Amino acid sequence: MEIFKSESIVDFFDTFQTDYDCLNYLAQKKWENGFKCKKCNHTKCTIRKYNLARDCNRCHHIESPTANTMFHKVKFGIRKAFIIVYEMCCTTKSISASHMAKKIGVSRPTAWLFMQKVRIAMKSSELHDMQGAVIVDEFVFGGVEDLKQGRSSDTKKKKLVGAVEINEKRKIKRAYFKRIKDYSSKELNKIFETHISEEATITTDKWSGYKPLKKNYNIKQIKSNTSDFFEINTIIHQLKSGLRSVYSWVHEEHIEKYLNEFSYRLNRSIHKQTIFDNLINRLTNNKHIGYKDIIIST
Ligand SMILES: [Zn+2]
């Protein structure tokens, strides 16, 4: 199948003019390797012309292109859902749910819910550790003064740790973030064990919490106000200003999803042409996620 490869919004609207165009794209992705009935494993089917659903020739189980994907039961139309996906990956900055709702003509809760699903799909596969030069730093977000770098004991602030991989020319290759409960080694280790290879050359500030991690990692601790922290400070600043400008309030439990979104876009900034297709793949292969899986039970 021909995959959508463009950053142009004109190309996007030319390719996806109707719900049918979007369903067709999804159907091609879903049955890329041929049809197999979910009920009886039969491999022959009849395609229903009007909605591209597959009707099994043996047991007549019908499967729609959206079934078992994150587009399942999207009531506002699949084309609008495609537009949300495009907006979230092809723009450089995040859009708030209320702005998105107005843009595509749905209610704010509807936009918010689907955007949360997209953010879940944006989560790192955690299969590709950062290998080279990596800088790690902890910071806070929220509260009255959130411009301050480093640690804070203010309980209203969200505590975060970030890791940035840079190349020989000190250009940022990738960045990941984690929410942490405190600045203990156990909490700081979360970003190490998920995203950093034991072979990496890591720089941190002089905080004692990093010391025990030296057992498994190659960590150099230096003063945080040196130029070695320039790249991570720039990224943290971008993340904070992005969060501040579009989300007046981000619940503690949801912040990881916003961090996923930020990293997903940043880490693919050199693959912008195929970012939409990549995200559609993820949404197609992810199981259906319902409202109950997203809302916080408090
Ligand atoms: Zn069947």
pLDDT tens digits for range 78-113: 999 999 999 999 887 788 899 999 999 999 999 999
Fold exhibited by the domain 133-267 = Nucleotidyltransferase; domain 5 (3.30.420)
Q: Is the pLDDT of residue 297 over 50?
A: no
Phi-psi category of residue 73: left, alpha or beta, with phi > 0 → left and psi -120 to 50 → alpha: left
Residue 54: in which H helix or E strand, if any? strand 54-56
What distance in angstroms lies between residue 111's CA and the mean position of ligand 1's atoms? 35
The DSSP result for 87-133, as a single string, is HHHHSSS---HHHHHHHHT--HHHHHHHHHHHHHHTS--S-S-B-SE
pLDDT in tens, 19-39: 999 999 999 999 999 999 999
pLDDT of residue 237: 92
Whole-number Å distance, alpha carbon 14 to ligand 1 midpoint, is 36
Tokens of 55: 């009707």
Tell me the residues surrounding ligand 1 (ion) with CB < 5 Å. Answer: 37, 39-40, 42, 56, 58-59, 61
Q: Element (H or E) spanning 10, and its range? A: helix 9-15
**CA-CA distances (angstroms) from residue 195 to 25, 55, 130, 136?**
32, 43, 6, 11
Confidence check: pLDDT of 71 > 80: yes
Distance 70 CA to ligand 1 centre (A): 23
Q: Tell me the C-alpha distance between 51 and 125, whole Å.
A: 32
Least confident of 56-65, 93-102, 187-196, 238-247: 238-247
Give the model's pLDDT for residue 42: 97
Structural contact between residues 81 and 16, judged by C-beta atoms closer than 8 angstroms = no
Calculate how far, in angstroms, residue 37's C-alpha sits from the geometric centre of ligand 1. 5
Distance 53 CA to ligand 1 centre (A): 13
pTM of the model: 0.89
- Packing angle of the helix pair 230-246, 255-267 (nearest 10 deg): 120
Average pLDDT over residues 251-266: 87
Instruction: Say yes or no to pLDDT of 298 above 50.
Output: no
Q: Residue 144 above 70 pLDDT? A: no
The model's confidence at residue 151, banded by pLDDT at 50, 70 and 90, is: low
* Domain spans, the chain: 133-267
Does residue 76 surpass a pLDDT of 90? yes
Q: From the CA of 155, how far away is ligand 1's center (Å)? A: 55
Average confidence (pLDDT) over 228-252: 83
Give the separation between CA 158 and CA 136, rounded to whole angstroms: 17
**Separation between Cα atoms, residue 154 and residue 88, nearest integer Å:** 32
What per-residue confidence (pLDDT) applies to 62? 97
- CB distance 61 to 40 below 8 Å: yes
Determine which of 70-74, 145-149, 181-185 has the lowest per-residue pLDDT on average.
145-149
- Residues forming beta bridges with residue 139, ordered by sequence position: 149, 160
Q: At CB < 8 A and 24+ separation, what contacts does 193-197 make?
A: 194/124, 194/126, 195/124, 195/126, 195/129, 195/130, 195/163, 196/129, 196/130, 196/134, 196/136, 196/163, 197/129, 197/130, 197/131
pLDDT attached to residue 200 = 97
pLDDT in tens, 172-209: 999 999 999 999 999 999 999 999 999 999 999 999 99
Measured CA distances, 202 to 9, 116, 165, 226, 259 (Å): 40, 32, 9, 15, 21
Encode pLDDT of 215-236 as tens digits.
Answer: 999 999 999 888 899 999 999 9
Q: How far is the CA of 36 from the centre of ligand 1 (A)?
A: 8
